[in-house]
Structure 1
Amino acid sequence: MDFLKSAVASAIAKGPAFPYTFGDKVDLDPSVWTLYNGIRREDGSNCSIFAFDITANRSALPLARNALKKLRTMRHPGVIKVLDTVESDSYIYIATERLVPLRWHVKRKSLSPETAKWGLYSVAKTVKFINDDAASIHGNLKVASVYTSESGEWKLGGFEVLSNVKDDEAVIYTYGSLVPDSARYTPPELAKSGWDAIKRCPHSAVDSYEFGVLIYEVFNGSFGGSDQAGQTKNIPPSMHSSYKRLTNANPKARLSVGHFLDQGQRNGSFFDSPLIKLTDGVENLGVKSESEREVFLDDLDQLTDDFPEDFFKMKVLPELLKSVEFGGGGPKAFSVVMKIAAKLSNDDFDSKVTPVVVRLFGNPDRAIRVCLLDSLPLMIDRLSQKVVNDKIFPQIVTGFTDVAPVVREQTLKSVLTLISKLSDRTINGELLRYLAKTANDEQPGIRTNTTICLGKIAKNLGTSTRAKVLIAAFGRSLRDPFVHARNASLMALAVTGEHFSDEDSAIRIIPAISPLLIDKEKLIRDQAIKTMDVYLQKIRKAVASMPDSALPPESTAAGGPRMSTPQPAESSASTATAWAGWAISSFTNKLSAAAGEIQPSSNGSQSPSLSAPTSKPRPAPSSQTASALHRQALKSPPPSAPLSRTSSSGGIGGAESFFPGPEIADDDGDAWGDMDEGNEDDNFFSGGNETPSFSSSATLTKKESSSRTVSGSAAAPYDDGSEPDFAGWLAAQQAQKKSTVVGIKGLSKATPTAKPSTSPTTAKKALPVSKAKVAPAKKIDLKPKSTDDDDGWGDGW
């Protein structure tokens, strides 16, 4: 190889200038030419170079010179395109477009039936032109004379004996037998009578026979001789009849290539195919009328994957892209573009398709936009992240607010395709803002698809805002009047449970799902149960690892705890007994620990405070034991005993009548109401060293407030770190009451009972009786609710 290159270089140096660089040698069938790959020095483009060494093969010089002459003068799309030629005393060089011998494809059997017919159609048109328009005979038709260009088109060469029938001294008559391997392809009449027999037969007879041999070689690989002529092995059935007439032994009965071409173009015949129609009409696609373009594009849609990739890449694709962008080809043309682009390499896609796609996304035509969004899955892998994030997405977001619902919906669906190519900043910023708008869209289907979209892209959202966004969006969708929107939200919650904390699941999600357990639609009820089970299992798993109690361990200091901790009941039947025993034992323990007597106040009523401990000796303890007090407390009081507290509306029964206590003051009702309204446990039992404070509309006089003091012997106030101190709370309540504490019969020494002081202020007041208000009938609003959630994420949610 190096020797050949050096020989060629030395020959060029001695001869005329040839602005092409020789490359690798290409294997060929037996030929007078040597084929090289070449490069044009001016622009670096690819080319092929046919080289003939005169000194080494002088006997074939007439054939080489005839081929050079005919290639220069024969102009046809099916003929090899010549770029430059040079001839000297020692060599002939012909530079052409880059070519690949058809023999390579035939040997590899890489030609599909449709591609083979398309190539034969192209060669048949070229031979018809030579026979009819140029009144010439090719005389060397075979696979070795056909090449494929970079666009995949079949180009005819082998012009060594191409001759005009009007030339009596044509080279075909004299040198036809010198063509390499001519004996195998020579028609029967020439093999029998010599090449002069051409003059006695129709001039197209030789090319008809050899074209039939070419058909056989294309479908079978090789031709062994005249015995195989006319055999139909592997040849398409629709071509059998016409093919046999091409290879008829009688030259006068043979079908000309022109007639063979006409028969193949009839409706339903072997050359009537979308691929062949495409090649005929693609070059003037831009000047076709709208109806012609529609027909042409319909034929393109019928194409399967069985087409020549190179031809579509080099010829069809550029024409279609121009038609889509400038010629009104529309969505149908772009769908064909995507079909062809699937066969392109990444480099070819970036250079030929990507720039056009970016420009098309800026096109205001809605039909083009919808077509682009539909085709986005086919090309997203070919588009770089920078192109999608910086150039395409800013154009796509205009579709979120388009007035056409179909554009909004297709834009929303495209998010799933685009999400992998968007930056985190774009996803958690601009994209979520637009999804918040589609979540409130007037079209229920778009609202539903937004919920589905959020569920599928949950893993792509930022961890700092993911739970807040999803809970706000899904919570709103759970209240949507559209049944499928609610169902979509339930299903989305079921598959995104891993993204929510245990606290959010228990406090926010489960309560939001609960109303749907009794939804009017069975579809929603069933899905709500499934979703609820998902979160209940999540909560069960979380609490399994939690400690049994968060309270500190019981203190072993003197005195022990004020109350015993209830133990779990063995059965449901013993639950009530366990609760009652806990309450009574706590009460009696408190009584047994109390000391001193209730002293009357100076104004005739009893003091609201317990006597403080003094240095005087305590009185002897009562002979009654704690158990006796317990039994006495369980007995029903006699009817004559003043056990119940009275109010303007009658006695208050239950535990208060069973355990007598202080009379209800005029401001007690207001204080309970305030606690109910606050609905806070911290208001019920105040921590620290302060006494519980309840708001009331009634005000205290200075004298009353000054008399409300708790002695140092009072029980310690409630501490948040321990169990509730009911006794301490009762003592604090007594210190705040304006009424006199009535002695409890049977638990202390009898003392004269003083009537409570009745002032004008207290005599007129009674416990307020709350009146139930009838709520107005609730109206069902079918529009999506626009109430603001407390999440603080976007007004749109």
Structure 2
Amino acid sequence: MDFLKSAVASAIAKGSSFPYSLGDRVDIGDSIWALHNATKREDGSSCSIFTFDIASNKSRLPLAKNAMRKSRTLRHPGVIRVIDTIETETSIYIVTERVVPLSWHVKLRSLSEETAKWGLHTVSSTLKFINEDASSVHGAVRAASVFTSESGEWKLGGFEILSSMNDEDAIIYTYGSIVPDAARYTPPEIVKGGWDIIKRHPLTAVDSYGLGILVFEVFNGGFAGGDQLGKTTNIPPTMQQSYKRLCAANPKIRLSPAHFVEQGKKSGGFFQTPLIRLTDDIESLGLKNDAEREEFINELDELSEDFPEEFFKMKVLPELLKSVEFGGGGPKVLGAILKIGSKLSPEEFNSKLTPVIVRLFGNPDRALRVCLLDHLPLMIDNLPQKVVNDRIFPPMTSGFTDVAPVVREQTVKAVLTVINKLSDRTINGDLLKFLARTANDEQPGIRTNTTICLGKIAKNLGQSSRSKVLIAAFSRAIRDPFVHARNAGLMALGATMDYFTEEDCATKILPAVCSVLLDKEKMIRDQANKTIDLYLQRIRKFTSTMPDTALPSAGPEESTKDAARIGTSNDNSWAGWAISSFTNKITTANGEIEPTANGKPAESDNARSASAPRSTTSTPAVEPNPAKKMLRPAAQLNRSVSEQPAPVAAKFEEPGKADDDVYEAWGAMDDDDEEEQPSKDDDPFSPVTQPKPLPSLTTSPKSPAIPYDDGGEPDFAGWLAAQSKAKSKKPLPKGLSKPATTTAASRTVNTPAAKPKTVVAPAKKIDTTPKDEEEDDGWGDAWD
């Protein structure tokens, strides 16, 4: 029959009319209650339910009803918070906040000394309230009557015999002895004289004795019996004297809970701990002035890692958030918030901290923003990517242009933290533009950090603009007047070598690094040599895979002819190439003299040295075979500047449209001071420099302008002719001498002139008249 009633009560509790859903049962040892984890059906909030089965415990029903009545009327922070009470014909339900029995932690001995002191302080303060303010006696203080809440705070329960001493028929006198395990925890005077004797002793005597047992249980993992009481094993030395007075056999000399708290609160007392001070001050944090708030935060920083995390999450964190957002808590309070937030789960972080952090990034307080940037590593893992990219990074970018250097520097450093939460569009758009500004910052440390930052985020940059941006930034860095900025640029080039092509390495990076080989600082010279060695190894490895030549293979006949023409090409001496050029001119001067229209032979240009001016007295010869023209294009000597073709470097002036904005921002990094950069006219490789035309050669009045043709070889013959004229002063044959005087008009392009007659004489006198120095073409000067 009893079993049937119990089953019916359980069914009612789980039925639809019951507003709570019972969950797992929690073991609380020998007790009149069964404890269950539960949830409220209305909102799903967690709670605990103490259930009492009337049918199976009729003898203890008065205890259950007293506990239900006292728990509803007794309100104190150290008492379990009651949400609801339900009484039916078969059961009694006390719905409370979610709690866990303290006996679990006691048996596992998982409580640190600081946490145990903090909890004992809470229980002692609660007993002080019960004894003095409520004029009542708890009567069953022990580990089984204490619970821990979700915030980690110790809460006093077990109100089965809680009685007011103003009540003559108090339940403690009648039912005190039927409390579970009463014999082990009953004071010695009650064992001898019964519960009525407490009327003749101090009101606090019974609870003081129970508090002493609780101290022993907490530090020793349990309590076996009265013979252990009074032993100081594992009790903190500062607490031992007060503990002994709690357990005194004479009830009149026992230390009351109020005096126990007072002893612990004295200077140097056992209750003078940062955690206890934090608990006392947290409720009034918003009312403290700046000095008091700073002292509070300093104490908060002193707390070790073994303090109860739940207390910080549930109690401290909400108060800190109120203070920093509405009470002017400042960066110190924010630092404490983020330190606690690092221990939250992602769900807890998003619900409690993310909205506040997003609002704080828009705060104009520079100290607060710097603190946020400093603590980004602690919270970035818990922030969703969309929140970082869309709601945090946009206000964060104001730090790149802030007037305070410390804000700009911290913003650059924070890029490394948020880079993995930014989209490719944000990285290759806004971020690179802002980094281009800080790369030209007036503060050398910010320029250096920007270079380091670019080296570390190179893998995140888009492939289309990565090499352009990095080369421009690092090339600028190695020309920075700040020594550490130059060193950072060189090290960044070494770290990002894999992102550049071999052509970029050889044509852009190595020339830039070579400029600091003679740096005034040895650190820079050494780093430059290391960087050059890295790039040279890569280039050598690449060139070993290249073919020997890119020219097409020649046919058998042409190969034989070429071998005959450059018979000295295998000469390994320094002048071997020059001899080859000279023999080239001699071996190709063959052919026949064709008669002119008058029947007289014309002078052959083929028999003339390449350095001698072409004669215009004869009819123009047949154009040579186009296949044997020179490989390099002929220079248009007499073309005006307006007629010259556009420079070939146009491809450098039109970068791809996808990178225009970003690369233009970084292109500005190549602009240095005028004294540092060579002028464009002095730089033949500048993409915007107009090519300078070669000097014009003197032509006869009749002959059209003919480009200078050296056949692809150095003009060794011309050099010989110039040397013979300058040193030996030997005259040339009359037929090879230059025309008499070349006027300015004869130098003009396309100037018509009368065609001189061609005269062929069997013999010519040698003209020994020295040439005017004005007629010297100057082509041999470079060889002197």
Coarse TM-score class (shorter-chain normalised): 0.7 to 0.9
Q: Does 2:636 correspond to 1:687? A: no
**2:513 is matched with which residue?**
513
The CA deviation at 1:27 is 1.4
Deviations 1:504-531 (A, max 9, x none): 1011111111110011111111111111
Residue 353 of structure 1 corresponds to: 353
Equivalence for 1:310: 310
1:699-739 deviation digits (Å, cap 9, x = unpaired): 75652439x899xxxxx995xxxxx3569x989x99xx9xx
Residue 703 of structure 1 aligns with which residue?
Answer: 702
Gaps of 5+ in 2: 616-628, 639-693, 745-771
1:17-56 CA-partner distances (Å, limit 9, x unpaired): 7533333322122112222222223332222222222222
Whether the 8 Å CA contact 1:64–1:160 is kept in 2: the answer is: yes
Look up the match of 2:275: 275
Q: Distance in 1 between matches of 2:702 and 2:454?
A: 66
Call closer, same or farther: CA 1:598–1:24 in 2, change over 3 Å. Answer: same
1:703 partner letter: K
CA displacement at 1:580 relative to structure 2 = 5.8
Bigger shift: residues 558-567 or 203-212: 558-567
Secondary structure at 2:270's aligned position in 1? Answer: coil
Q: Separation in 2 of the partners of 1:152 and 1:690?
A: 91
Q: Distance in 2 between matches of 1:372 and 1:751?
A: 91
Question: Is 1:758 matched with 2:740?
Answer: yes
Pair 1:168 & 2:168 matched: yes
Matched with 2:755 is none
What CA distance in whole angstroms lies between the structure 1 residues aligned with 2:707 and 2:118?
Answer: 111
Quick one: distance in 2 between partners of 1:556 and 1:439? 60
Alignment partner for residue 662 of structure 1, among 604, 612, 624? 612
Q: Which residue of 2 aligns with 1:70?
A: 70
Aligned residue among 555, 563, 566 for 1:564: 566
Q: Tell me the distance in 2 between the aligned counterparts of 1:191 and 1:173.
A: 13
- Matched residue, 1:459: 459
The 1:543/1:78 distance shift into structure 2, 3 A limit, reads: same
Q: 576-585 vs 542-551, which deviates more?
A: 576-585
When residues 96 and 471 of structure 1 are mapped into structure 2, their CA distance, relative to the original with a 3 A threshold, is same
Does the 8 A contact of 1:598 with 1:610 survive in 2?
no
In structure 1, what is the Cα distance between the partners aligned to 2:528 and 2:594? 60
Determine helix, strand or coil for the equivalent of 1:344.
coil
Q: CA deviation at 1:118?
A: 0.9
Q: Which residue of 2 aligns with 1:155?
A: 155
1: distance between equivalents of 2:452 and 2:548? 39
Distance 2:80 2:734 in 1: 135
Deviations 1:755-789 (A, max 9, x none): 6542362879434889x9xxxxxxxxxxxxxxxxx
- 1:136 Cα deviation after fit: 1.4
3-state SS in 1 of match to 2:454:
helix
Q: CA deviation at 1:445?
A: 1.0
Count of matched residue pairs = 674
Residues 404 and 414 of structure 1: CA distance in aligned 2, closer, same or farther (over 3 Å): same
Tell me if the contact between 1:439 and 1:451 (Cα under 8 Å) persists in the aligned partners: yes
1:104 aligned onto 2:104: yes
Q: Secondary structure at the match of 2:463?
A: coil
Asked if 1 retains the 8 angstrom alpha-carbon contact of 2:474 and 2:493, the reply is yes
Shift in CA distance, 139/552, structure 1 to aligned 2, threshold 3 Å: same
Q: Distance in 1 between matches of 2:427 and 2:346?
A: 26
Quote the residue 2:761 is aligned against: none
Q: Distance in 1 between the 2:736 and 2:180 partners?
A: 144
Q: After alignment, is 79-88 or 293-302 more displaced?
A: 79-88
Partner of 1:250: 250
> Distance in 2 between the 1:508 and 1:193 partners?
101
TM-score by length of 1: 0.78
* Partner residue in 2 for 1:478: 478
Q: Residues 270 and 521 from structure 1, CA distance in 2 versus in 1: closer, same or farther, beyond 3 angstroms?
A: same
Contact 2:23 2:36 in 1 (8 A): yes
Give the SS at the match of 2:403. coil
- Bigger drift between 352-361 and 66-75 goes to 66-75
> Structure 2: how far apart are the matches of 1:565 and 1:163?
126
Map 1:574-589 to 2 at 5 A.
575-576=573-574, 578-579=576-577, 582-583=580-581, 585-586=583-584, 589=587
State yes or no: 1:609 paired with 2:605. Answer: yes
Q: Distance in 2 between matches of 1:543 and 1:577?
A: 27
| Structure 2 residue matching 1:464: 3-state secondary structure | helix
Contact conserved, 1:609 with 1:709, CA < 8 A, in 2? no
Give the corresponding residue for 2:438: 438
The amino acid of 2:704's aligned partner reads: S
What residue number does 1:341 align with?
341
- What secondary structure, in the 3-state scheme, does the structure 2 residue paired with 1:516 have? coil
Q: Percent identity?
A: 55
Instruction: Rate the CA distance shift 1:45–1:292 in 2: closer, same or farther, 3 A.
Output: same
Cα–Cα, structure 1 residues 550 and 88, in superposed 2: closer, same or farther, change >3 Å?
A: closer
Q: Deviations over 1:563-612 (max 9, x none)?
A: 4387677xxxx533644654555455446xx244699999x999463489
**In 2, are the aligned partners of 1:605 and 1:754 still within 8 Å (CA)?**
no
- Between the aligned partners of 1:758 and 1:13, the Cα distance in structure 2 is 128
Corresponding residue SS for 1:75: coil
Q: Alpha-carbon deviation of 1:216?
A: 1.1
Structure 1 residue 244, shift from structure 2 partner? 1.4
Please name the residue that 2:61 is paired with. Answer: 61
- C-alpha separation between the residues in 2 aligned to 1:173 and 1:568? 125
The offset of 1:105, in angstroms, is 2.0
In structure 2, relative to structure 1, the CA distance for the partners of 1:277 and 1:605 (3 Å cut) is farther
User: Partner residue of 2:657?
Assistant: none
Counterparts of 2:36 and 2:192, CA distance in 1:
37
Instruction: Give runs of aligned pairs for residues 290-301 of structure 1, distance below 5 A.
Output: 290-301=290-301
SS of aligned partner of 1:411: helix
Q: 1:597–1:611: 8 Å Cα contact kept in structure 2?
A: no
Match of 1:114 in 2: 114
- 1:199-214 equivalences in 2 (<5 Å): 199-214=199-214
Q: How far apart are residue 290 of structure 1 and its match?
A: 2.1
Code of the residue aligned with 2:561 in structure 1: it is G
Corresponding position of 1:194:
194
> 1:46 maps to what in 2?
46
Contact persistence 2:569–2:580 (CA under 8 A): no
SS in structure 2 at match of 1:43? coil
SS at match of 2:510: helix
Amino acid at match of 2:566: S
Report the alpha carbon displacement of residue 338 of structure 1 after superposing the two structures with TM: 1.4
> How far does residue 76 in structure 1 lie from its aligned partner after superposition?
1.0
The amino acid across from 1:766 in the alignment is E
In 1, the alpha carbon distance for the partners of 2:455 and 2:13 equals: 71
Q: Alpha-carbon deviation of 1:343?
A: 1.6
Distance, in Å, in 1 between the alignment partners of 2:341 and 2:230 is: 40
- 8 Å contact kept, 2:145–2:157: yes
Shift of 1:277: 1.1
Aligned to 1:635: none
Look up the match of 1:631.
none
The answer to whether the Cα contact below 8 Å between 2:635 and 2:707 also exists between their aligned partners in 1 is no
Aligned partners of 1:247 and 1:228: how far apart in 2? 11
Q: What is the TM-score with the length of structure 2 in the denominator?
A: 0.79
Q: Note the alpha carbon deviations across 1:671-724, whole angstroms, 9 max, x for none.
A: xxxxxxxxxxxxxx9538979857556775652439x899xxxxx995xxxxx3
Contact 2:581 2:714 in 1 (8 A): no
> In the alignment, what sits opposite 1:400?
400
Q: What CA deviation, in whole Å up to 9, does each residue of 1:237-288 have, x standing for no partner?
A: 2211211111112222211111111111122221111111111111221122
Distance (whole Å) between structure 1 residues aligned to residue 116 and residue 497 of structure 2: 58
**Greater alpha carbon shift after TM alignment, 279-288 vs 378-387:** 279-288
Displacement of 1:551 in angstroms is 2.3
Q: Residues 400 and 434 of structure 2 are in contact (CA less than 8 Å); yes or no, is this contact kept in structure 1?
A: yes
Structure 2 Cα separation of the partners of residues 332 and 54 of structure 1 = 55
**Residue correspondence of structure 1 range 464-543 to structure 2 within 5 A:** 464-543=464-543
* Aligned CA distance change for structure 1 residues 686 and 478 (closer, same or farther; 3 Å): farther
Unpaired stretches in structure 1, ≥5 consecutive residues:
613-658, 666-684, 711-715, 719-723, 773-797
SS of structure 2 residue aligned to 1:47: strand
Residues 330 and 368, structure 1, Cα contact 8 Å, conserved in 2? yes
Q: CA RMSD in A?
A: 3.7
8 A Cα contact 1:599 1:611, kept in partner: no
